A and B are shown apart, each in its own frame.
With several copies, the nearest count.
Chain A
Amino acid sequence: MAETKQTPKYTFKDFQSGQQVRWCPGCGDIAILRAVQMAFAQMGIPKEKFVVVSGIGCSSRFPYYMATYGIHGIHGRAGALATGVKIANPELSVWQITGDGDALAIGGNHFIHEIRRNIDVNVLLFNNRIYGLTKGQYSPTSPKGMITKSSPYGTIEEPFNPGSLAIGAGATFFARGIDANVNLNVEILLQAQAHKGTSVVEFLQNCVIFNNGAYKDLTDKETKDENTIIVRHGEKMIFGKNKDKGLMLDEKGKIKIVKIGENGVTEDDILVHDAHEPDPFIHVQLAGLQHPVVLGVIREVRKETYCEALERQMKEVQAKSPIKNMHDLLHSGNTWKVES
C-alpha cells in the first residue's frame, strides 16, 4: 500500500460511524465490532482506504457502524462484492462481513471461489449457527438435531465446519475468534490484515435471541480453559486451566489430547504449532477439532494473490504488446483504406 502522506494516529472512536447500533443488547456482534474498530486503529492505514462490505443478515449491518467506505450488499454476495472492490483497487483494505447463512448457505459459492483465487480480502464470518435477521431458522452450521423455527423437530443435516470447508477450498489463512475475547480478536485481525491472500476469520458469535448459549462452554469462566485452546505459530499447543494438557500426533498422524505428566508425556512432547506448513493435513485436524475448540490463527501460508498475479501479467503483456491505446487496437490486424 503506497502511502504518500503520513497516516494519522487513530483510536477506535475514529472508526465509529455515529449510527446507532441496532443489534440486540448482548449480541456478540457488538463485541466483535469493537474489536474491529480497535484493530483498524492500529493498522496504520488511512481511514479512506478501508472498504467494509457485507451481504444481508444481522451481522451484515456492520458496515453502517463503521466510519469507512462500505457497501451493505445483498444476501450471499458479500464475497463477490469484496472480490470486485479488491481487484478494482488493490490499494484498498477490503473487509468482508458475513454471517453463517450469508457466507455458507446462499453465498457458499463465492466464499469458496474467493478463497481459491486467494483474493486479498479479510473475511469475517460471524458464526452464530442461526439465521438471525429472518428470526431464527437453522443455518448450514447449526448442529444436527437443533430445534429452530424451520426445524421444529430438529435439523436432519450435518453442519459445515467453516474451517474444513475453507481449507478444502485452498485457504491460505484460517483463524478462529470468539466474540467475548476482544484481545484475542484484535490479535487475529491484525494478523489477518498482515496476511497477503484471503484471510478467513471465523468468529464464534452468540445470538442472544435465537441461539443463546451456543458457545457458553467456550466463554464461561469456569469451563473455557478446558474447552478451548489458543494456538500461536511456533508455540506449543498447551491448554487447560492448569496448562497441563496438550496436543500430540499419534502414530497414524492423528491429533490426540494428552496430559502432561501422565503416561510419561512431558511438555517437550507437545506439538509446536506450525501455521506455515503448506500441506494442510494438520490444519484440517485443528480446524475440525471439537474438543478442545481451537482458537487463534490455525493456518497462514503465503501464495501469490490474485491481484499480484494480475499485476504481474498486466506488466508482462504491456511490455510486449504493440497495442498501447485504442487507436492501435482499432487499426490492428487487417485494415484497408477507401480513398475518396
Chain B
Amino acid sequence: MGNNGKSIVEEKDHVVIKFAGDSGDGMQFTGIRFSETSAMMGNEVSTLPDYPAEIRAPKGTIGGVSGFQIHIGSDHIETPGDYADVLVAMNPAALKANLRWVKKGGTIIVDIDTFTPQNLKKAGFDENPLKDGLTREYQIIQAPITTLTKEATKDLNIDHKTALQARNMFALGIVYWLFHRDLQYTINFFKQKFKNKPELAELNKRVLEAGYNYAHNIELSRTYIIKRAKLEPGTYRYINGNTATAWGLLAAAEKTGLQLYLGSYPITPASEILQEIAARKDLGAIAFQAEDEIAGVVTSIGASFAGKLAATSTSGPGLALKSEAINLAVMLELPLVIIDVQRGGPSTGLPTKPEQADLLQALWGRNGESPVAVLAASTPSNCFRYAYMAAKIALEHMIPVILLTDGFLANGSRPWKIPSLDELPDIKPPIVKEGELEKYYPYERIPGTYVRRWAIAGTPGYEHVIGGLEKKQVTGEVSYDPENHEKMVIERENKLKEIQKDIPPLEVDGPDEGELLVVGWGGTYGHINTAVHELRKEGYTVSHAHFHYINPLPANTEQVLSKFKKILIAEMNRGQFFRYLRSEFPQFDYRKYTKVQGIPFTVSELKQAIKKNLED
C-alpha cells in the first residue's frame, strides 16, 4: 500500500464512487477493478453499471455517457448508493450527466485535457464549469490525464491510440491512492488477462502506477480508509445477478443429476444468462439460442418432456411472447423455469433500465385460469438461490415457475460467499423409473401434493400422450366433460397452493408488530432495507418485510400483515404488488410508494416516504 504522505487520513464506514466517461472509455472495466480490489481488501461492495442503449453512442455527448457506481463499506452495504462521494469524470459530458448525483462537498476527478471548448459544447455546457462556482462546492482534482498517460507510455512500443485506451487506468490509479487501495490485485489481473500480450499488461500497469503516483505527488489534502467489513469467513467471489441466475440453474442440474437445457433468445438485460450457460458446455449444459422467444420456451417444454431441467430466460417483451406457450406447460404439468429480467416498459420501453412492472403479467398474463408459481430474487447474489429454488419448485411440483429479477439485479454486482452444493436443499423430482409402476396414469396425482408423476420420454412401459386440451382426471385423456374441467382447474390451483408448504415463512426485519410495515418484493430489497435500518438508527420504529415468494404467498403473510397498523408497499411500478396484496387481503390499510423512472429508488426518498407514512 502506498504512502500517503502529509495528507489527512480519514476513516469512513462507507463511501460511494462513480466512474463516468464515454462508452468507449472502459468505465465498466475500471469500476469492476476497483470493486474487486475493495472486496478482496475486505469491504462489502455493491455496484451498478449504467450504460446507454446505443452500442457506441456519439462520443462526448450526454447520451453517450457510460457509468459505473460502487458503494464500499464496512457493513450493511445493500445498495450501490444514492449519491457519490467521489466522481471520476473522463470528459465534460460525464461531469454534466452526473453532477446532480454527487454529494455536496464530494471529490470530483476530471481529465482536464478533455475540457476543450468543443467538448464543453457537445456536453451542453455554456461555459467551463470548473471555472465556475463548482470549485467552491466540491473538491475538484483537475488532472491532465490524457497528457500524462501519453507521457507515461511514450517509451513503450505501443501506438498512440492503444496507449490512450489506458487513460481509465490513470484515473483508477488516482482513486486507488485516495482510498489506500493495493495495486497488486489489479496488476495481477492484467498479467492474467493479457497473458499472450505482455505489452498490454505492461501498458496498463504503467498507467495505473502513473495515476497513483500523480495523486501522491499533488499532495491531496485528504485521503480515506474504509473499515473492513465483518464478513462471514469463507471463500468469496464477485458475482452479478445474471451470472448468479445462470449458476443457480446449473447448481440445480448438478444436484438432481439432470442435464440443464436452456432455450432462449437474446434480449437486454437477460442475454447474459444465455451466454453464461452457453459457455458451460464443460458442465454438459445445453444452451439453445432459438429463432425467437416462442421457440425458446417451446423447445424447453420439449426438453422437459424428454427429462431435462428445462428453463428459458428473457425480459418483459419476451415474456409476453412466451405466454401462450407457458400455458401449454401449465396444462402439460411439466417442470419449467422461466426467468424474466424485468426492464422498463411498456413495449420496447427503456430496454436497458430496471423496472418491476411485469408482476401482473407474470401472475395473470395468460388465457384461462393458469396458475404458475412466481418468485422474485432481491439481490444480485441471491439470484443464485432463487434460481435454484425456482428449479426445485418446478421439478418437485411439476409446474412452470416464473422467476422475476430485473435490470438492476442483473447488472449489479456483489461479493458473494461461495456456497457449497451440500448446503443447498435436496431436489426430488417425481420421476418414475422403469418397472416402478404397473400402469402409468399421466394425471394421477401423488396424494397430499396434487403433483403428477413424470414419466420421461424413452422410459419403457410408460408411453403416453399429453397435450394442451383439457384432460380427464387421472388418465389424462382428452375430456370435454364440464365437471371434469372444473375439477382439473381446481386441481391445478391446489397444486400451486401446496407449494406453500415448501416455502419459508415471511420474515420481518425489525419489530414484528407496530405502526408501519414497509413491504417490498424483488430488487428493491437493498434500498428499502437500508432506508428502514437508517430510520431505526434515527429512532423511528419501522419494520420491513420483503417478498421472494409471490405465488403462492408465504403461509404466514396475512398474519404478518395483521400486526401492523399501516402497510407501505414500495415498488418500481404503479402499484402492482399493492393491487395484488389488496386483492388477497383487502382488510389492511395499504399505502403505496412507487417510482417508474427506470432507475432504482434512492434511500433518501424512501426514508422520506416512510416518515411521511409514519406521520399520517
CA distance A77 to B275 in the complex (A): 24
CA distance A64 to B250 in the complex (A): 35
Chain B, Cβ-Cβ closest to A340 = B233
Provided the pairs A310-B286, A329-B280, A329-B283 are in contact, do residues A53 and B302 lie with their beta carbons within 8 angstroms? yes
Residues in B neighbouring A106, C-beta threshold 8 A: 265, 291-293
Provided the pairs A92-B458, A150-B274 are in contact, do residues A336 and B235 lie with their beta carbons within 8 angstroms? yes
Q: Which of A35-43, A130-138, A234-242 contacts B (4 or more CB under 8 A)?
A: A130-138
Q: Does B585 contact A (CB under 8 A)?
A: no
Residues in A neighbouring B307, C-beta threshold 8 A: 88-89
CB pair B271–A83 under 8 Å, yes or no, is no
CB pair A84–B291 under 8 Å, yes or no, is no
Nearest CB in chain B: distance from A51 CB, A: 5
CA distance A132 to B234 in the complex (A): 40
CB pair B458–A89 under 8 Å, yes or no, is yes
CA distance A336 to B238 in the complex (A): 9
CA distance A83 to B291 in the complex (A): 12
Residues in B neighbouring A150, C-beta threshold 8 A: 266, 271, 274-275, 278, 287, 289
CB pair A327–B421 under 8 Å, yes or no, is yes
Residues in A neighbouring B282, C-beta threshold 8 A: 317-318, 321, 323-324
CB pair B306–A134 under 8 Å, yes or no, is no
CA distance A164 to B107 in the complex (A): 60
Q: Does B138 contact A (CB under 8 A)?
A: no
Chain A, residues 50-71, CB within 8 Å of chain B (1/0): the string is 0111001010000110111111
CB pair B457–A134 under 8 Å, yes or no, is no
Task: Find A149's partner among B58, B275, B463, B464 (CB 8 Å cutoff).
Answer: B275
Interface size class on chain B is: 35 or more
CB pair B306–A67 under 8 Å, yes or no, is no
Q: Does A325 contact B (CB under 8 A)?
A: yes
Chain B, residues 23-39, CB within 8 Å of chain A (1/0): the string is 00000000000001001
Q: Does B284 contact A (CB under 8 A)?
A: yes
CA distance A253 to B268 in the complex (A): 47
CA distance A72 to B63 in the complex (A): 19
Chain A, Cβ-Cβ closest to B303 = A88
Nearest CB in chain A: distance from B327 CB, A: 8
CB pair A336–B477 under 8 Å, yes or no, is no
Task: Find A87's partner among B299, B301, B462 (CB 8 Å cutoff).
Answer: B299
Within 8 A of A (CB), among B206-246: 231-238
CB pair A70–B465 under 8 Å, yes or no, is yes
Residues in A neighbouring B466, C-beta threshold 8 A: 70-72
CA distance A209 to B324 in the complex (A): 30
Q: Does A47 contact B (CB under 8 A)?
A: yes
CB pair B317–A74 under 8 Å, yes or no, is yes
Q: Which of A19-27, A170-178, A269-277 contacts B (4 or more CB under 8 A)?
A: A19-27
CB pair B328–A73 under 8 Å, yes or no, is yes
Residues in B neighbouring A67, C-beta threshold 8 A: 463
Q: Does B568 contact A (CB under 8 A)?
A: no
Within 8 A of B (CB), among A310-325: 310, 313-314, 317-318, 321, 323-325
Chain B, Cβ-Cβ closest to A330 = B418
Chain A, Cβ-Cβ closest to B291 = A113
Q: Does B483 contact A (CB under 8 A)?
A: no
Residues in B neighbouring A310, C-beta threshold 8 A: 286
Q: Does B127 contact A (CB under 8 A)?
A: no
CB pair A325–B283 under 8 Å, yes or no, is yes
Chain A, Cβ-Cβ closest to B321 = A106
Residues in B neighbouring A70, C-beta threshold 8 A: 464-466
Chain B, Cβ-Cβ closest to A107 = B292
Q: Which of B49-57, B80-88, B547-555, B607-615 contacts A (4 or more CB under 8 A)?
A: B49-57
Task: Find A88's partner among B40, B238, B302, B463 (CB 8 Å cutoff).
Answer: B302
CA distance A149 to B263 in the complex (A): 16
CB pair A73–B278 under 8 Å, yes or no, is no
CA distance A73 to B299 in the complex (A): 11
Provided the pairs A113-B295, A318-B282 are in contact, do residues A337 and B271 lie with their beta carbons within 8 angstroms? no
Nearest CB in chain A: distance from B381 CB, A: 12
CB pair A69–B458 under 8 Å, yes or no, is yes
**6 extra A-B contacts, CB within 8 A, seeds A23-B55, A326-B283, A327-B420:** A48-B462, A69-B464, A110-B295, A337-B235, A338-B231, A338-B234
B interface residues (Cβ-Cβ under 8 A, vs A): 36, 39-40, 42, 54-59, 61, 63, 189, 231-238, 247, 250-251, 254, 259, 261, 263, 265-268, 271, 274-275, 278-284, 286-295, 298-308, 310, 317, 324-325, 327-328, 332, 347-348, 417-421, 457-469, 477-478
30 contacts between A and B (CB under 8 A): A22-B63, A47-B463, A48-B457, A63-B467, A64-B465, A69-B464, A71-B301, A71-B302, A72-B468, A77-B328, A83-B302, A84-B303, A88-B305, A88-B308, A110-B295, A113-B295, A133-B55, A134-B268, A151-B289, A310-B286, A318-B281, A323-B280, A323-B282, A325-B283, A327-B420, A327-B421, A334-B40, A334-B189, A335-B237, A336-B235
